[in-house]
Structure formats: structure tokens, C-alpha cells
Amino acid sequence: MKLTTTLLGILLLNVCSFAQGSYDEEQRSKDESQIRKLMIKVMKWHDKTEPFIGYEPVFDPDSGQATGMDLKALQEGLNELKETEFFDASFIANYRTIVRSLHTKIQNKEVEFAEGDLAPYAEADPWCNCQDVPNDFSWGQMHVNFISLDKNMAEIAWTWDDSEESQSFRYGVKMRKMRGEWRITYLQGFDINISSK
């Protein structure tokens, strides 16, 4: 009897600890919904802001050549990103690194452009890696594909919608859940390995 009670107690503890540690379908569904809503909020917010927050070149008044990036404007942009509460600190640190790297490359004349020229980082909007949003598109149509999702981490790729023609476009995003809220840690258009080349 004691052995049966002990075994039953151990089994019950294991079941309870598994239930607490598992990632059930209901929670997964809630997380998927929160992640999709976050992406829509981010893109709607982005539509109301400049595509290159904190990316303000400084030009030599005589030659018109870029001499670096405005680091005060960068800090203001970083503060704006932080205030949205959409982004994890790691994303903001990466953003800072990209602009500071560009600043150094301009100062070292590895990157050169003049006032009025298209800046080398401005060929496409990094928030969507696009030049234009498709006609008649609203962010509510965004289709989110979940590559991986667990209790605290997510990796997705979004497309314009679920149509066949949209499937050739994919934009990668990574997120982390902190204190019950999802935050963006990575956006494909701000990949340090690509943006700082």
C-alpha cells in the first residue's frame, strides 16, 4: 500500500510539473495572435514615421559630401524606438550599431555620397525591404508564417497576404517574450551582417 501511494504521488508530481512546463495549444494560439497584432501595430506605426529613424547624415557645407551621421538624431531615434515598447533592447542596440558603423564608414570615406544623392542605405525601406507597399493593401491583410514558436521565443516570416503572388516575398522577424509581452529582437531589413556592409 505504501509503495502504491508513493508511486502514485511521484506520478502525480510528474504530471503536474509536465503540465506546468508544457506549451499547450491554447497558449500557442494566444501567442500567435499577439505576435500577429504586434507586427500589424509596428507596421502601422512605421507608416506614420520616417523609414530611417535616426539615420540623418551630416554634410559638409562647402563640398556637400556626407561627413558622418548625426549621432544626436540617432539617440533621439533610439529613444523613439524604445518608447513604442515594440522592440527588445537587443534590437535597439543592433540599430545603434548599424548607424554608428555607417557613421564610421562615412568618416573613413569607405562610403561616400553627396547631399541630394540617394544614400546607400536608402534603396529600399528596411521595415519591409520594399520600395512601395502593394496597391490596395492594408496591414490587416499581412500573412504571418510561424517558423518556430515556444513560450519565450518566436521566429516568423511575413508576406503581404496569403495569395500565390505574395509568396515570393518573405520578411524575417524574431521576437522574445518578456514579462508577458512580445518584443521584436530582429527585423530582416536591419540585419547587422547586411546593413553594415
Residue 184, domain member (yes or no):
yes
In sequence order, which residues have a C-beta less than 8 Å from that of residue 81 and are 6 or more positions away?
Answer: 53, 87, 91, 92, 95
Query: What domain range includes position 80?
Result: 26-195
| pLDDT tens digits for range 160-188 | 887 887 778 899 999 999 999 999 999 99
CA atoms of 81 and 88, how far apart (whole Å): 9
Per-residue confidence (pLDDT) for residue 179, from 0 to 100:
92
Indicate the number of domains in the chain: 1
- Strand blocks (E) in 135-180: 143-149, 153-159, 171-178
Q: Give pLDDT, residue 4.
A: 56
Identify whether 17 is part of a domain: no
Q: Residue 130: inside a domain, yes or no?
A: yes
**pLDDT tens digits for range 82-137:** 999 999 999 999 999 999 999 999 999 999 999 988 888 878 889 998 888 887 78
Q: pLDDT by residue (tens digit) across 31-81?
A: 999 999 999 999 999 999 887 889 999 999 999 999 999 999 999 999 999
Does the pLDDT value for residue 3 go beyond 60? no
pTM assigned to the model: 0.83
Q: Is residue 189 part of a domain?
A: yes
- Alpha-helical (H) ranges within 50-159 are 71-84, 89-107
